[in-house]
Structure 1
Amino acid sequence: MSGTKTINHWLDGKLFEGASGLLAPVTNPATGRVTGEVALADVADSRAVIDAAAAAFPAWRDTSLAKRTQVLFAFRELLNERKHELAEIITAEHGKVLSDALGEVTRGQEVVEFACGIPHLLKGAFSENASTKVDVHSMRQPLGPIAIISPFNFPAMVPMWFFPLAIAAGNTVVLKPSEKDPSAAIWMAELWAEAGLPPGVFNVLQGDRTAVNELLVNPSIKAVSFVGSTPIAQYVYAAGTAHGKRVQALGGAKNHAIVLPDADLDLAADAMVNAGFGSAGERCMAISALVAVGEIADELVAKIAERTRTLKIGDGTRDSDMGPLVTKTHRDHVASYIDAGEAAGATLVVDGREVQADGAADGFWLGPTLIDNVTPEMSVYTDEIFGPVLSVVRVETYDEALQLVNSSPFGNGTAIFTNDGGAARRFQNEVEVGMVGINVPIPVPMAYYSFGGWKNSLYGDTHAHGMEGVHFFTRAKAVTTRWLDPSHGGLNLGFPQNI
């Protein structure tokens, strides 16, 4: 692999090669070519990065809110000025089109902006004279070093769900990005350094299962934020909590969209294409199961198929609507579900296996696929496919549709399309899912709300960002005080400063 770059770890404000000597290839999905090698940490490398975060914690914890906020604002400004650079890095290693990569960065930036309000978010309460001459107040304090284990599909946005609030609250961070697209993490680390973040507060640990396991068992790590598939989320939650850590592990999804007979079918068809095939379906909030209610199914499927056939599939740096899948192995895995659905008797309306992509012949191409007449026992319906495959399930009534959604072991996101306010209100009350859209196909909350699902889509009690995120990265303390004598600080006519 001569001539390729090496993506190393980030420790104490600088690149860290590590001593393991282990490397893994990094590939451009649009060409199939290896563009770099990423270091894979062994236990010793992992401990070196974790130790740096632990050593930096006491000073950062005691840094004033005013100074912490200044660093957050500086990071936000630098990110806003240079987000196109980050989008290009994401496209080169993940494959999503540039506009989608830029959208990812922008949504992550919303959490940075939310974290800039950390002085207000960390305010406690005060009760004077709770007992005679006794006052009580509360405070929230940081936990210590935090581990973030992020997936390949959002190499910038998912880490930004967590690290802005963790850092703003006074914690230090070890980010373990996916080894499939590791460069975005290093770019963000360099940006933090430029923004004035002290060395050791934000660190990057490249690696595979070995690095993950050390993060889960190392006593210096106090909390773990994870996003990935459900089986790994279960493992992370069990292992992390068994070692005394606070864990939020966001797992898989099988998101349904119900379309009622009174819905605007053009709006619904546009939404299904956007939500089913954006980012090649590699989104935990992608719509992968369309539940068509009543006699509208034929018309709705025809509208979706018409729109799907207009999509341009190709290299994300070109004028394309959808890029490749992240690896050849994943591309073949997704295609196997199309094979299985066809073999089980579903109707293949648009076959992505036949795509003619605007890109290199060795790219990991699979076009958008629309499968009709899917039944709940088919694997194309039951499994999280994580690719551009939209399955259509036909039912006769709203109650059947609701039962289908609520029977799923996943509860991440869902949507309903209707012009009936009563039906929408009933749905938002009755559906057993954490994030609900009404005529909105991908109901990702704004940063000041919290992101997370129910059932097998979340392990742990706390969702990402919003006030739940603030609470996850801090712990509460109540202080009861009695002062017997007033104290005097002397004279100082200067204007008080926040320093």
Structure 2
Amino acid sequence: MEIKKMYINGQWTQGSPGTTSDVVNPFNGDILCRIWESSIEDTREAIKAAKNAFYTTREWRDMDVEARSRVLLKVAELIEENQEEMAAMETQNMGKPLRESLIDIADGAGTFRYYAGLIQAPQGGVCSVSKSSGEIHSITVREPVGVCAQITPWNYPFTMAAWKLAPALAAGNTVVFKPSHKTPLTTIRLFELLEEAGLPKGTANLVLGGSVIGCELGESMDVDMLTFTGSTKVGQSLQRLAAGNMKKLGFELGGKSPNVIFADADIDGAVEWAMMGIFYNQGEVCSSGSRIFVEDSVKDEFMEKFVKKTKALTLGDPMKDPDMGPLVTKEHMDRVLEYIKIGRDEGAKVVCGGERYTDGECADGYFVLPTIFDQCSPDMRIVREEIFGPVATVQSFSSEKEAVAMANDTCYGLAGAVFTSDSAKAMRVIKEIRAGITWINCYNLGYNQTPWGGYKMSGTGRELGIYGLEEYQEVKQIHMNLNPGPVGWYVNS
């Protein structure tokens, strides 16, 4: 069976411990391949290679912006040429329906193309300053941060890799990259394309394995920036480890996002968008609209339509493009099922789903039926804690003020949505929701040009858009004295 290698300093190599781990197809439990696991020593070698490439050889950092842009455009072209292969790989490794994987791969190509163009736009500026000290010219410039460690989750393996690698490389940084050991396949393939596109040796390095690698990246004094997408708990641990050299941080963490539906909304539209908000990608989405709040006068109508359409969703082999595929691992499936049990024990009512699905071809897969809980209260764990699966909780409200209070009653602040035909009300409510990504009359849409990130315990910093590029840059202030003669300050000397 094939064993996938890590990529350090321009070389594909096996891990020094000689140990491997399985990469599993969640549809049937089959082993797709194995990966070599990196050790702490391997990780340090990757950091050393990135540090040398940035501070010593400087080939990528000092490359003119047009040449750097051409390399990134070549990466985008190669992704598009291999889109179908990579989408199949993503679906078999992660479990999402094939049409979703095709969108993810195309989005990744678009991300590289977007940043290839953005770095050719004007950057920096000139500040007006006081003339009292002479002819002073004040200039701001943007420079790469340095060695960037990047850690991505298992739910959007390729998309998250593109979101991090494209802006970091566009800015001129070097990278040590760690994908989730559960879903590394499309990231490994992406590194093959980076090599094919001509990225200089040591510029981008790939390590494979579990949490010990992430801890080393967080703690290393030779890493200048750490970015991470994943759970809040792991993000907190990495933040503590990163304090040693005060490295720059960018974290996109957990969420328990509100979806507020008013009585004057288009109910049919709200139902379908609510389904997109919680069942897309099997609900394994940090921005999922898992807490649904419906104005009491239309709750019965909404629930009837929501339950009916949810029960009609198809589950099956994700390569055959059902509505939903399996969850990523058996362990994660068991976690989601445990939360469903907790919800029942807390007194919430399951009106749809609520169990593992094992019919027909799904017998050996990690499937959970799309689940809706009614009769929920704010203190329930299923309302307060991130489940990260196809599980929605529904509560009702009677006023705009109450809706806002319920929406903000969470430690998270990643996303949120409002459904209403009243544009003034929509803007009032959306401005009150404490979240970084919000929608009006839609859900889960995102674009390369617009920022992505959260408030509160959902993280710090932003990805995508010009904000995503600026995350991987430092701002330098340059004061230039155009009249360098004596200043005349010390009158007695």
In structure 1, the gaps of 5 or more residues are: 486-499
> How many angstroms apart in 2 are the aligned matches of 1:273 and 1:465?
25
Residue 257 of structure 2 is matched in structure 1 by 255
Q: Tell me which amino acid in the other structure corresponds to 1:330.
A: H
Q: 2:333·2:367 contact (CA, 8 Å) conserved in 1?
A: yes
C-alpha change, 1:353 and 1:129, in structure 2 (3 Å) is closer
1:352 Cα shift? 4.1
> How many angstroms apart in 2 are the aligned matches of 1:270 and 1:360?
25
Q: How far does the alpha carbon of each residue in 1:347-376 deviate from its partner, in whole angstroms, 9 at most, with x for none?
A: 211124153555342111111111111111
SS in 2 for 1:59: coil
Q: 1:312·1:322 contact (CA, 8 Å) conserved in 2?
A: yes
Q: 2:257·2:291 contact (CA, 8 Å) conserved in 1?
A: yes
Are 1:276 and 2:275 counterparts?
no
Residue 42 of structure 1 is matched in structure 2 by 39
In structure 2, the gaps of 5 or more residues are: 485-493
Q: How far does the alpha carbon of each residue in 1:372-404 deviate from its partner, in whole angstroms, 9 at most, with x for none?
A: 111111111111000011111122222212101
Q: 1:237·1:248 contact (CA, 8 Å) conserved in 2?
A: no
SS in 2 for 1:116: helix
Q: 1:222·1:246 contact (CA, 8 Å) conserved in 2?
A: yes
1:2-401 superposed matches below 5 A = 4-57=1-54, 58-121=58-121, 123-126=123-126, 131=131, 134-353=136-355, 355-357=357-359, 359-401=361-403
Residue 456 of structure 1 is matched in structure 2 by 457
C-alpha change, 1:49 and 1:480, in structure 2 (3 Å) is same
SS in 1 for 2:254: coil
Range with greater deviation from structure 2 (145-154 or 356-365): 356-365
1:134 Cα shift? 4.4
C-alpha change, 1:129 and 1:415, in structure 2 (3 Å) is closer
C-alpha change, 1:347 and 1:114, in structure 2 (3 Å) is same
Q: 1:241·1:247 contact (CA, 8 Å) conserved in 2?
A: no
Residue 490 of structure 2 is matched in structure 1 by none
> How many angstroms apart in 2 are the aligned matches of 1:360 and 1:350?
19
> How many angstroms apart in 2 are the aligned matches of 1:399 and 1:133?
55
> How many angstroms apart in 2 are the aligned matches of 1:162 and 1:412?
18
Q: 2:181·2:210 contact (CA, 8 Å) conserved in 1?
A: yes
Give identity over the alignment, percent: 31
Q: 1:24·1:40 contact (CA, 8 Å) conserved in 2?
A: yes
Residue 487 of structure 2 is matched in structure 1 by none
Q: 1:26·1:93 contact (CA, 8 Å) conserved in 2?
A: yes
1:7 Cα shift? 2.0
Q: 2:358·2:365 contact (CA, 8 Å) conserved in 1?
A: no
> How many angstroms apart in 2 are the aligned matches of 1:14 and 1:87?
25
Over aligned residues, Cα RMSD in angstroms? 1.9
Q: How far does the alpha carbon of each residue in 1:129-152 deviate from its partner, in whole angstroms, 9 at most, with x for none?
A: 975554332211111111110000
SS in 2 for 1:117: helix
Q: 2:354·2:368 contact (CA, 8 Å) conserved in 1?
A: yes
Residue 497 of structure 1 is matched in structure 2 by none
SS in 2 for 1:419: coil
Q: 1:172·1:201 contact (CA, 8 Å) conserved in 2?
A: yes
> How many angstroms apart in 1 are the aligned matches of 2:382 and 2:138?
57
C-alpha change, 1:271 and 1:249, in structure 2 (3 Å) is same
1:92 Cα shift? 1.1
Q: How far does the alpha carbon of each residue in 1:401-453 deviate from its partner, in whole angstroms, 9 at most, with x for none?
A: 21011111111000011101121011122111111110011243x22221101
Q: Tell me which amino acid in the other structure corresponds to 2:195.
A: A
Q: How far does the alpha carbon of each residue in 1:132-177 deviate from its partner, in whole angstroms, 9 at most, with x for none?
A: 5543322111111111100000101112111111101110111100
> How many angstroms apart in 2 are the aligned matches of 1:360 and 1:267?
30
> How many angstroms apart in 1 are the aligned matches of 2:65 and 2:356?
56
1:243 Cα shift? 2.9
Q: 2:98·2:318 contact (CA, 8 Å) conserved in 1?
A: yes
> How many angstroms apart in 1 are the aligned matches of 2:147 and 2:35?
24
C-alpha change, 1:173 and 1:122, in structure 2 (3 Å) is farther
Q: 2:258·2:415 contact (CA, 8 Å) conserved in 1?
A: yes
1:120 Cα shift? 3.8
> How many angstroms apart in 2 are the aligned matches of 1:129 and 1:293?
54
Range with greater deviation from structure 2 (411-420 or 15-24): 15-24
> How many angstroms apart in 1 are the aligned matches of 2:109 and 2:363?
35
Number of residue pairs matched by the alignment: 479
Q: 1:175·1:205 contact (CA, 8 Å) conserved in 2?
A: yes
> How many angstroms apart in 2 are the aligned matches of 1:55 and 1:421?
54
Residue 489 of structure 1 is matched in structure 2 by none
SS in 2 for 1:225: strand
Q: 2:328·2:366 contact (CA, 8 Å) conserved in 1?
A: yes
1:72 Cα shift? 1.0
1:402-481 superposed matches below 5 A = 402-444=404-446, 446-458=447-459, 460=460, 462-481=461-480
Q: Tell me which amino acid in the other structure corresponds to 1:292.
A: V
The TM-score normalised by the length of structure 1 is: 0.92
The TM-score normalised by the length of structure 2 is: 0.93
Q: 2:226·2:249 contact (CA, 8 Å) conserved in 1?
A: yes
Q: How far does the alpha carbon of each residue in 1:455-490 deviate from its partner, in whole angstroms, 9 at most, with x for none?
A: 1101x3x211222222221111222335689xxxxx
1:91 Cα shift? 0.7
Q: Tell me which amino acid in the other structure corresponds to 1:457.
A: S
Q: Tell me which amino acid in the other structure corresponds to 1:334.
A: V
SS in 2 for 1:60: coil
